[in-house]
Chain A
Amino acid sequence: MPDFLLEIGLEEIPARMIDSAREELARRTQELLTRENLAPSDSKFTSYSTPRRLAVFVEGINAAQADVQEQVTGPSLKVAYKDGVPTPAAEAFAKKVGVEVAKLGKISNPKGEYLAATIQKKGRSAAEVLTELLPKEMAGIYWAKNMYWRAGKPERFVRPVRWITALLEGHVVPLEFGGIKAAAKTHGHRILSEGEIPLSKPENYKDSLEKAKVLVSPAEREHRIRKALDAATRTIPGLRWREDEDLLRTVVNLTEFPSVIIGSFEKEYLSLPEEVLVTVMRDHQKYFAVEDASGKLAPYFLAVLNTDSDPDGLIRHGNERVLRARFNDARFFWEADQKVSLRDRVEMLKNVTFQKELGSYYEKAKRMAHLVTIGGADFDHPQHKIKRNALYEAAWLAKADLTTELVKEFTELQGIVGGLYARAQGLDPAIADAIYDHYKPESMDDASPRTLESALLALADKADSIAGMFALGLQPTGSKDPFALRRQANGIVKIIVEHKLPVDLRILFQVALVGYKGSEAEKKFTQLDKYSESVSAFFRERLEFYLRDVRGFAYDEVNAVLAAGHDRVTDALDRVQAVSEVRKSADFEPISIAFKRIKNILRQANEVGKAPNGKFDRAALEDPAEKQLAEAVEKTAPVVAELRHKHKYADALAEIAKLRPTLDTFFEKVMVMVDDEKLRSNRLLLLQKMLNDFSTIADFSEIVTEKK
């Protein structure tokens, strides 16, 4: 069976987009071949990529689709024959299918009898199908950002397409994409190889390119880079390179034939904060940092090159020169920034816009200070009293580093630089730490702020942004979240959980809104009527995401728990843990079914206008089964309430589950919807009471049970 190779040659693709595009091209090719019956189940798909190419190599495809027999239905017999003579309709059908009228078959279906013919449909060749359909798949690849380049602007793609290689065995598949016709040749490394590389067979692809100094497999490049990093680091005893997955992925996608050099910088730069040095190396120069055995930064760096060697040391020398200039800049900024203290910089925040409608960072700092004072009032941890003065000052100073040259140059160091300056300026370490961590967590994988003060500051910062945006009506919609409010809300959830903060989100966001009172921004708050509701719904969604996708709870357990309240994050977490635990017990599912039944009965009663009225009257009960239930409910309710109050949710749920036999007997023996209005109403009220008393931890009716 023939092999197939496709390579799209491009001008350099952005590193961040390569991995997903490579996978998508392979997936689309596989789906196309499968859909077109060209890929037997044992075909093997391998994908390759470098900055200049995306490729897919398929081993063992069908050279052509199998021929198929197809039954075609024609006109009904009534129409096809008049007095036993074929009509023009019959003849037209015969002509269409290429069979004499006399040889046409018949089929009958529920609508009657019809003319029919069996025709042979010839399978198309793989080359034909690929030529026609593969370009559409190539055009369909998703790019975060793409461009026009050709005259007439016929298509957009990530970067200009410069060559296409498409081979089926030894033959070119004459497909065309981006104005380029496929050919049996490719291109080697930009500088280490010259001219076109002829390619006679798909299976030679990888080796031919390796000879032309291109490693098409990203896994192989990663392996080579790792080994080269090790080897370069070993040239200096006692050092190791700092593992950095993201950086590694980036350099794998920036190179076709990687090698590594180790360079050094003057020891004097080590007096700059490590955070600054590492940011310059990693984010700006894409260098790996090097540390000594104790984990301290060493005055070396590792650069991954897109070439095979540096025989004259020119490349190392050039990189050292650039790094020195960068460090010099950083040191200049570090020293210049010290001339104005963070406290004096607060005033300068009046000239830094936070958000067009929400005013300056000065106003934001003021609101954050308000929020940590009011909002933080009840957050004293049993073992750890909040340092209120430090927290208040940190809130005022948190954004001051936005006016420093260092943050203007290295924006990713916001917060961190503020923390470092606070420490350098001799402020309380609690202040410095709070500022340092207050942008955290940047993602669900990132750590929460370390101290209680920094956690509260981070909370205030994020809550203030979300409050302002929601009041303006700028909440995220669909895939649009330009202010990353979802990320910030996820951060709030994570912080509350990890610091076990007794925060009530409803109150937090009311207090956050108070901060805007009397401001210019307040005049633009057009969405205040929907504010509480939309913030609450937004957080319910975030909490659902956190409990399900981050913590792994079953979705129905999460739904059940959130239906019983979601303003207190830690409480919701405790409750879902309890539900998840108790769910394994024998009585749990049956009681969930019973609650569903209760809910249905009450709903139906409402729908037919038989909603209960009056007060529950225990004396009016008749049947022993219902009397028993009432007694059990009255006995259990205070116990559950007490356990709930003590946050012993699992115990409370176990108590509720114990009602199961009594409840089962009730449903067996007692008919609720009886004609006697008083009796019916009383029974409904009993069920209502059960639902009210026992749905405060979780709404059992949300639990998905096996039996209906």
Chain B
Amino acid sequence: MLTAKPNPLTFQELIFTLQKFWADQGCILQQPYDVEMGAGTMSPETFLRVLGPKPYHVCYLQPSRRPADGRYGENPNRLFKHTQCQVILKPPPDNVQDLYLQSLQAIGVELRKHDLKFEEDNWESPTLGAWGIGWQVMLDGLEVTQFTYFQQCGGVDLEPISAELTYGLERLCAFLQDVDSVYDIVWARDPKTGREITYREIRQAEELQFSVYNFEYADVEKTWEHLRLYEAECKALLDEYNAKSKAVREKKSESLDDLKRFPILPAFDLCLKCSHLFNLLDARGAISVTERVGVIARIRALAVGVAKAYVDQQSDTAAAAVNS
């Protein structure tokens, strides 16, 4: 068998190595955000942090749950829940592409022996009111990373621009270990006994059961109800924040603290809940044509509302209005 290296990284070593690499480049290491979401981009570490002027460099893992992608643990390449390693560089350094290539070398890819191409792939999420320009990075014909210069997020034009690197870890690891199924990935190797623990042992049951739930068991009525409840609460919070902010700007209120302590971050959690529940209903086949467009618009309104409120809360103008 041909492999890139005699001892390719295990899944967990791959994670350590990438995190160490980006920490050495000055990134904050964050933990995965503990709310279900479809992509690492939706984490507040990206969605909110790219807004506003404050520089921020962060690296984190994010389990990404996509109910419709579940294959009952049977498909060797498709997962309901896969792991993204997400790096945000705000603003991006001039040598951002070189840094990325170094990260590949760090995980054991000898670039001289491989074929690497940056192919146009612009990323867009209408639900998040977000889009960017970039590439899919192809390594020997395999898409290993999505590389995006964010231009807009939550309907807000970004300044500065952030670079986002998203590594699909299962896919990358299967490539490094030269296995044909993600379930054959070696997750860990016991340092004493050398016993290997595979991705299958750790995750396959979860893939199966969540596929069964997502496609067969999820209670459609209750899921709709959850969606409505989370949406209503998120909306109520946003409405209240906007009223308070308006009062401050019009100098009818002096309570800047009221704004600063206002729970916009929790409002975003509620928005994430809605997005996941929508994905679940979609996988369940419970959303009709007419509803679909409407629900996407509703979630987008929440995401855009949170982004605007977040920018407002962070901005100095709110403070200035009070201090003047």
Residues on A lying within 8 angstroms of B by beta carbon are 11-12, 14-16, 51, 145-153, 159-160, 162, 190-192, 254-255, 285, 287, 303, 305-307, 310-315, 317-319, 321-325, 328-329, 332, 350-353, 356, 359-360
Chain A residue contacts of B161, Cβ below 8 A: 147-150, 153
Contact A147 B133 (CB under 8 A): yes
Question: With A and B bound together, what is the CA distance between A287 and B117 in angstroms?
Answer: 14
Which of A11, A318, A328, A351 contacts B114, CB < 8 Å? A318
> Inside 8 A of A162's CB, which chain B residues have their CB?
94
Q: Interface with A: B37-45, B137-145, B185-193, which one?
A: B137-145
Whether the pair B115, A307 counts as a contact (CB closer than 8 A) is: yes
B266-324: which have CB < 8 Å to A?
285, 288-289, 292-293
Which of these binds chain A: B118-126, B210-218, B246-254, B257-265?
A: B118-126
Partner of A318, one of B77, B92, B94, B141: B141
In B79-98, which residues have CB < 8 Å from any A CB? Answer: 91-92, 94, 97
Q: How far is A251 from B92 in the complex, measured between Cα atoms in Å?
A: 28
Q: Cβ of B139 and Cβ of A159 under 8 Å apart?
A: no
Cross-chain contact A314 with B91 (CB below 8 angstroms): no
Residues of B within 8 A of A310 (CB): 113, 115
Answer whether residue B184 sits at the interface, using C-beta atoms and an 8 A cutoff. Answer: no
Closest CB-CB distance, B199 to chain A, in whole Å? 16
Q: Are A149 and B92 in contact (CB under 8 A)?
A: yes
CA A270 – CA B116 in complex, angstroms?
28
Nearest-neighbour CB distance to chain B for A157, whole angstroms, equals 10
Which residues 174-202 of B sit at the A interface, judged by CB distance below 8 A? 175, 178, 180
Nearest first, the 6 A-B pairs at minimum CB distance are A318-B140, A14-B120, A12-B118, A147-B133, A319-B141, A305-B115
Cα A325 to Cα B175 with chains together (Å):
12
| Chain B residue contacts of A325, Cβ below 8 A | 76-77, 180
Contact-size category for B: 35 or more
In the complex the two chains form, is A191's CB within 8 Å of B116's CB? yes
Contact (Cβ within 8 A) B111 A191: yes
Smallest distance from the beta carbon of A140 to chain B beta carbons, Å?
Answer: 19
Check B112 against A351 for contact (C-beta < 8 Å). Answer: no
Q: Most chain-A CB neighbours within 10 Å: which of B2, B78, B115, B135? A: B115
Q: Does B159 contact A (CB under 8 A)?
A: yes
Per a CB cutoff under 8 Å, which of A146, A306, A311 touches B116?
A: A306
**Distance, CA A150 to CA B160, complexed state (A):** 7
Question: With contacts A12-B118, A306-B116, A315-B114 known, what are 12 further pairs, Cβ within 8 A?
Answer: A12-B135, A15-B120, A51-B118, A147-B151, A148-B161, A150-B161, A191-B116, A192-B112, A314-B4, A314-B140, A315-B115, A318-B114
Query: Nearest chain B CB to A279's CB is how many angstroms away?
Result: 15
Report the Cα distance A146→B122, complex, angstroms.
11
Q: Known: A303-B141, A353-B289. Contact between A318 and B133, CB under 8 A?
A: no
A350 touches B115 (CB 8 A): no
Q: How far, in angstroms, from A15 to B135 measured CA to CA in the complex?
A: 11
Contact indicator B112/A191 (Cβ below 8 Å): yes
> Per DSSP, are chain B's interface residues mostly helix, strand or loop, or mixed?
mixed
Q: How far is the CA of A152 from the CA of B157 in the complex (A)?
A: 12
Q: Please, which residue of chain A has its CB at the minimum distance from the CB of B71?
A: A332
Q: A190-B101, A315-B114, A318-B141 are in contact. Are A145 and B133 (CB under 8 A)?
A: yes
CB-based nearest A residue for B181: A325
B residues contacting A by CB (< 8 A) are 2, 4, 75-78, 91-92, 94, 97, 101, 111-120, 122, 132-133, 135, 139-142, 149, 151, 159-161, 175, 178, 180, 285, 288-289, 292-293
29 contacts between A and B (CB under 8 A): A12-B117, A12-B119, A14-B120, A147-B132, A147-B161, A153-B159, A160-B94, A191-B111, A254-B119, A255-B117, A306-B116, A307-B114, A307-B115, A315-B113, A315-B140, A317-B2, A317-B140, A317-B178, A318-B140, A318-B175, A321-B142, A321-B175, A322-B140, A323-B141, A324-B180, A325-B180, A353-B293, A359-B289, A360-B289
The residue among A15, A160, A192, A319 with the most chain B CB atoms within 10 A of its own CB is A160
| Residue from A255, A315, A329, A359 whose CB has the most chain B CB atoms within 10 Å | A315
Residues of chain B within 8 A (CB-CB) of A159 are 133
Measured between beta carbons, the chain B residues less than 8 angstroms from A319 are: 115, 140-141
- Inter-chain CA distance A156–B58, complex, in Å, is 26
Query: Are B292 and A322 neighbours in the complex by a CB distance under 8 Å?
Result: no
Which one, B77, B142, B151, B288, contacts A148 given CB within 8 A? B151
Q: B18 to nearest A CB, angstroms?
A: 20
Contacts of B142 in A (CB 8 A): 318, 321-322
Are A322 and B141 closer than 8 Å at their CB atoms? yes
A9 to chain B, nearest CB (A): 12
User: A315–B149 Cα gap in the complex (Å)?
Assistant: 28
Residues of B within 8 A of A351 (CB): 285, 288-289
Instruction: Give Cα A616 to B141, complex, Å.
Output: 81
Q: When the two chains form their complex, are residues B139 and A318 in contact, meaning their CB atoms are under 8 A apart? A: yes
In the bound complex, what is the Cα–Cα distance between A326 and B205 (angstroms)? 24
Min Cβ gap B176→A in Å is 11
B50 to chain A, nearest CB (A): 13
Contacts of B118 in A (CB 8 A): 11-12, 51
Interchain CB contact under 8 A, A151 and B2: no
List B contacts of A353 (CB < 8 A).
Answer: 289, 292-293
Query: How distant is the Cα of A152 from the Cα of B175 in the complex, in angstroms?
Result: 40
Across the interface, do B141 and A149 meet the contact criterion of CB distance under 8 Å?
no
Q: Which residues of B contact A12 (CB under 8 A)?
A: 117-120, 135
What CA separation (Å) do A287 and B203 show in the bound complex?
Answer: 34
Give the distance to chain B from A189, nearest Cβ to Cβ, in Å. 11
Supposing A312-B113, A317-B2 touch, asked if A147 and B91 sit within 8 A by C-beta, the answer is: no
Cα distance A353–B120 in the bound complex, in angstroms: 28
Q: Among A146, A306, A312, A328, which residue has its beta carbon within 8 angstroms of that of B115?
A: A306
Whether the Cβ atoms of A329 and B77 lie closer than 8 Å is: yes
A35 to B296, CA, bound (A): 53
- A325 to B141 alpha-carbon distance, docked (Å): 12
- Cα separation A145 to B175 with both chains bound (whole Å): 32
Min C-beta distance of A183 to chain B, whole Å = 14
**A151-B91 in contact given A312-B2, A325-B77, A360-B289 (Cβ < 8 Å):** yes
Kindly state the separation between the CA atoms of A79 and B149 in the bound complex, as whole angstroms.
64
Measured CA separation A610–B195 after assembly (Å): 107
Q: Select one of A145, A151, A303 contacting B122, CB under 8 A.
A: A145
Question: Could you tell me if A285 and B289 are in contact, using CB atoms closer than 8 angstroms?
Answer: no
Residues of A within 8 A of B76 (CB): 325, 328
Q: Which residues of A contact B115 (CB under 8 A)?
A: 303, 305-307, 310, 315, 318-319
Q: Which residues of A contact B111 (CB under 8 A)?
A: 191
Residues of A within 8 A of B293 (CB): 353, 356
Closest B-chain residue to A287, C-beta based?
A: B141
Q: Which residues of chain A are near B178, meaning CB under 8 Å?
A: 317, 321
Q: Contacts A325-B77, A351-B289 known; A15 to B119 CB distance under 8 Å?
A: yes
Q: How far is the CA of A390 from the CA of B305 in the complex (A)?
A: 52
Residues of B close to A332: CB separation below 8 A: 75
